[in-house]
Amino acid sequence: MPSRVDEITDRLVTAIAIGEYLPGARLPVERDLAAALGVGRMTVRAALARLVERGLIETRRGRGGGSYVVDQWPESSTDAVRRTLSMRLGELRDRYDAIARLHGAVCRAAADARTATDVTELRAALESYRTAETGLAAQQADSRLHLAIMDAAHNAVLKQVLVDLEASLSIGAPAHLWGEPSSMRDMELRSLHEHEELIGAIADGRADDADAVGRAHVGIDFELISTAMSRAGLLTE
């Protein structure tokens, strides 16, 4: 029977493998990880020690110290990914469908409610994404862009529902998965094209277009998780 430490270790290994935490990213402190994962700090500490032993993370001391990702998905992680994702096969498609519908609604609301200041901030966030380096910097810029869209909707309840629903999909991090290095840049460029369409629709007040592009954009996340499941042997190509 797997222990709680085994389970949390598998979840963190999987979160790194599928790109919720990318190489170079600093993991949250033990207290925050424990709260996010619903376990005690000692459990998180033991799981992190295992990740260090596996060479997935390293611990840095001093200013700016913490636990940093150094390797994403070595073959030794595949069994953990398979165990973790196999428990979620039944729920993922429905959850992604719900997120797509809600994301479309948020984008529609942003197109209806955006102000001139919102449009300026959205375009600045889009430019930050366009110029970000591949990987961690692009992932962080993507998160800022999507938060700016939520803010432009001017509906705190709608924003919180979407944030909470997205968090429920997370394996171990409140961030969009970013996939594997081999396909990462293609995904980022595809996202850039969709971001440009989405921000253009919101800025122009084209609510129907914003809704449609916003829904379709979420499909990238489902494709990435499907790719991870295939690599882990849970789906056939």
139/180 same-domain check: yes
Predicted local distance difference test score (pLDDT) of residue 228: 93
pLDDT score recorded for residue 174: 65
Q: CATH code at 216?
A: 1.20.120.530
Average pLDDT, the chain: 94
Q: Which domain holds residue 33?
A: 4-83
Query: pLDDT category, 91, cuts 50, 70, 90?
Result: confident
What confidence tier does 236 reach under pLDDT thresholds 50, 70, 90? low
68 shares its domain with 106: no
Are residues 142 and 127 part of one domain?
Answer: yes
Among 83, 117, 148, residue at a domain's last position: 83
Distance CA 182, CA 172 (A): 22
Q: Can you give the pLDDT at residue 62?
A: 87
Is 182 in the same domain as 116? Answer: yes
* Ranges 20-29, 111-120, 164-173, 222-231: which has the least confidence: 164-173
Count CA atoms closer than 13 A to 36's CA, side-chain side. 22
Which residues fall within 8 angstroms of residue 114, CB to CB, at 6 or more apart? 122, 152, 202, 203, 205
Share of the chain above pLDDT 90, in %: 81
Do 114 and 39 sit in the same domain of this protein?
A: no
User: What pLDDT, in 10s, does the model give residues 14-65?
Assistant: 999 999 999 999 999 999 999 989 999 999 999 999 999 999 999 999 888 9
Do 58 and 111 lie in one domain? The reply is no
Q: Is residue 125 part of a domain?
A: yes
Looking at residues 75-93, what average pLDDT do you find? 89
Residue 41 to residues 20, 61, 88, 106: CA-CA distances in angstroms?
21, 19, 25, 35
**Within this chain, do residues 145 and 195 fall inside the same structural domain, yes or no?**
yes
Question: pLDDT digits over 123-173, tens only?
Answer: 999 999 999 999 999 999 999 999 999 999 999 999 999 998 888 888 876
Is 216 inside any structural domain? yes
Position 237 pLDDT exceeds 60 = no
User: In this structure, are 59 and 75 located in the same domain?
Assistant: yes
List C-alpha distances in Å: 13 to 89, 93, 95, 170, 220: 18, 22, 22, 13, 22
**Last residue of one domain, picked from the residues 19, 52, 83:** 83
Q: Is the pLDDT of residue 207 over 60?
A: yes
Distance CA 97, CA 204 (A): 26
Question: Does a structural domain hold residue 236?
Answer: no
Same domain flag for 109 and 74: no
Stretch (H or E) spanning 186: helix 181-204
Does 125 share its domain with 39? no
